[in-house]
Structure 1
Amino acid sequence: MSEPTPPPRRPLATFLRASTEPTPEAVDAVAPDSEVDNNEDSPVVAEAYVEDIEQTEADIDPAPVAAAEAIAPNVAATPAPSFMRAPERAAPTPRWQWALVGGLVVLLSLQIAVADRARLAADAGSRPWIAGLCSVLRCSLPAWQEPTAFSMISRDVRPVPGQPGALQVQASFRNDARWAQAWPSLRLSLSDADGRVIGTRVFAPHDYLDPTADAASVLEPGQSAQIAFRVREPAASTVAFTFEFL
């Protein structure tokens, strides 16, 4: 039995000429036949296929490429996150602001010193500069108080003639402190022959000063003062006395 005769094929060159603009489907349909038929028209098929590929690449729409290029600058212009940016250097503070702050601090310190001048004046370390400050600002300072800086120069206690039980007290002392001091309070103690204290009393400045003297005045450094006053003897056995500055 003989094999059926295949239908006649359309010439390949005629097929290529009939299609003015070959499509990818036509190329795929022609490629297998070109591999089977090793005739002289095969190079024409290859050239048509390459030409179709080149034409396809030329027909690529440039719009997406342009859009991508347009997006690229925008992406580059997007600012980086704050944690990726270098810290910006702050502008230096003007010198006049520092001078203003320093002046305010000094002014505040002066106000505190003037308000607390009584306590500062009672300290030997801070009194010199607070005294100098008050001499400029014309503020008053309390008198220096250092009872141990008074030195007794002379003292005497004796009965008053014609007045039984009355004693005349005389004393002289000096201010050896570095600053002026107010008149001190004076404690007088009387003792008997056995050393027992039989009477004691504290005399304020207005008790032992002359009524015409100013008890609010001060004794300058190195200044001496002499006082005299009378007291009543607590007992006839008084033989000794002591003075103490308060």
Structure 2
Amino acid sequence: MFTQCPDCRKTYPLTKAQLRGKKTFIYCKDCSKKFNALELLSDKPTGLLVEAKAEFIAKPESTPSSSSKKKAKNRQPANKKPVIEAANNNSANETTPIPPTMSPTSERLPWEAEKTPVNVLWFVGVVIGSLILLGQIIYFESSRVSQNAAYRPQLEKLCNWLGCQLADYENLAELTVLQGSFAPNADNTISFKAVINNQAAFRQHLPNIKLTLLDYNEQLFAQRIFAPKEYLPATASTSFSIAPDETVTASLTIAAPKTSIGGYNFDLTY
């Protein structure tokens, strides 16, 4: 950093340590002027000279007396560097106290970054709002997102870490019927069987089976939806889910209707 004498325009280099001191008055070694180093402070000596010329007011030339020359000579410091001197509040007119705005402890120096105050209430409000938004997304969209095969592996890992459980995966496109049969029995009942395979990479919830009976004119005359607990054996697991690449046999026994059965079809539904 550099400062400049307001009278003779002599430029002096300053260190950060000198600027951090409590007092910033120095003596000019050319004209013996005592001035505040912060008044013409800059980081470049060239800028100081331009600024000094703009503010400089010419003074009438006068020849200093021998006594003033002697005093000026006595007040010159021995070294070439400016000397930081403690200001005396009880001294004569040449000593001026540092204004509060120019105090090194309160003024932001040119090389220091400006500090922006942080509004704590605003920050807390943003955090609370973000948590509420995240909770709403999880509550309303968690089921749909968990059915996405691209996100489900990461969600399963997250749930294992948090101790939660995802909803069963449900994708009819990845369930395949390997075999189906519909045959009458001697006791006037009809046996229906279907072999279902899970081709998904995740455990799936078992689907419902919608069975439709047709007459000889291929007109629908009976239809019913059977839940997994109705077509699985009594000894089957109550989880009603099917593991990846697992095969499950659905078996139903229904009473023969009065209308002659000309055909049937069935669909897997959720």
The TM-score with structure 2 as length reference comes to 0.50
Which amino acid is 2:225 matched to?
A: V
Q: Please, what is the CA RMSD of the aligned residues?
A: 3.6
Paired residues of 1:181 and 1:220 also in contact (CA < 8 A): yes
| Structure that is richer in strand per residue | 2
Number of residue pairs aligned between Structure 1 and Structure 2: 159
In the superposition, relative to structure 1, how do residues 79 and 71 fare at CA in structure 2: closer, same or farther (>3 Å)? farther
Aligned to 1:189: 212
| In 1: Cα distance, 2:203 partner to 2:266 partner | 21
| In 1: Cα distance, 2:161 partner to 2:101 partner | 61
Identity %: 23
Query: Unpaired runs of 5+ in structure 2?
Result: 1-90, 117-126
1:129 aligns to what SS in structure 2?
helix
Aligned to 2:170: 145
| In 2: Cα distance, 1:173 partner to 1:196 partner | 27
Aligned to 1:132: 157
1:89 aligns to what SS in structure 2?
coil
Structure 1 residue aligned with 2:242, among 219, 222, 232?
219
Residue 113 of structure 2 is aligned to residue 89 of structure 1: yes
| In 2: Cα distance, 1:238 partner to 1:135 partner | 50
Which amino acid is 1:195 matched to?
A: E
Q: Deviations over 1:91-128 (max 9, x none)?
A: 79xxxxxxxxxxx9xxx79x959x65545322223211
Paired residues of 1:167 and 1:233 also in contact (CA < 8 A): yes
Shift of 1:234: 3.8
In the superposition, relative to structure 1, how do residues 148 and 204 fare at CA in structure 2: closer, same or farther (>3 Å)? same
Paired residues of 2:232 and 2:249 also in contact (CA < 8 A): no
| In 2: Cα distance, 1:91 partner to 1:143 partner | 53
1:158 aligns to what SS in structure 2?
strand
Query: Unpaired runs of 5+ in structure 1?
Result: 1-68, 93-103
Shift of 1:188: 0.5
The TM-score with structure 1 as length reference comes to 0.54
Shift of 1:144: 0.6
Q: Name the larger-Rg structure.
A: 1
